[in-house]
Amino acid sequence: MVRIPVSVLVVDDEKDFVEMFSLRLAELGQKVRGAHSGREALEVLKKHDDIDVVVLDIKMPGMDGIETLQEIKKRHPLVEVIMLTGHGTVNTAVEGMKIGAYDYLNKPADFMEITAKLEAARQRKADQEERIRKAEARSLMRRGGELY
């Protein structure tokens, strides 16, 4: 089976964490970029339109995870977000899921679980993109006066 890498953006104010987590994901065959703040994450997303999934720390100075999630969903609605929770932030992660996050992961996370969630999130994005493509094609055909 050919595995297509998931294009991931890891966002955390802890630079060591971003570095280690990214290295590990890259070893597992994923395509990884990193950012150390919500603002930086939005800049990376603006520059690179191939990102499938953002792994987003909740507790960050400045724009926190929830604010960043809201901006990501506003600007890039199809990009999936997985919240990253430390101690005592599971409730916030659940709130994040109510406003569009796909799921959450506990820190430190198990890489089997991470890989499974990344692939599932990427799949949801791909399915949604496919539904949109089909709907657009149908809409074009209708405009052409044909029945589908």
Does the protein bind Mg ion through residue 85 (CB under 5 A)?
Answer: no
Does the protein bind Mg ion through residue 76 (CB under 5 A)?
Answer: no
The Cα 103–Cα 49 span in angstroms is 21
The Cα 85–Cα 81 span in angstroms is 13
With CB under 5 A as the contact rule, the residue among 8, 21, 25, 57 that binds Mg ion is 57
Tell me which stretch binds Mg ion (CB under 5 A): 55-63, 76-84, 122-130, 132-140: 55-63
> Whose CA is closest to 57, among 113, 13, 88, 122?
13
When the beta carbons of 67 and 136 are compared against Mg ion, the nearer one is: 67
Work out how close the CB of 141 gets to Mg ion at its nearest, in angstroms, rounded to a whole number.
Answer: 49
Q: What angle do CA 16, 43, 27 make, to 5 degrees?
A: 40
When the beta carbons of 92 and 124 are compared against Mg ion, the nearer one is: 92
Does the protein bind Mg ion through residue 40 (CB under 5 A)?
Answer: no
When the beta carbons of 24 and 59 are compared against Mg ion, the nearer one is: 59
Work out how close the CB of 126 gets to Mg ion at its nearest, in angstroms, rounded to a whole number.
Answer: 29
The Cα 66–Cα 60 span in angstroms is 10
The Cα 82–Cα 97 span in angstroms is 9
Does the protein bind Mg ion through residue 13 (CB under 5 A)?
Answer: yes
- Asked if residue 61 has a cis previous peptide bond (ω within 30° of 0), the answer is no
Which parts of this chain interact with Mg ion (CB under 5 A)? 13, 57, 59-60
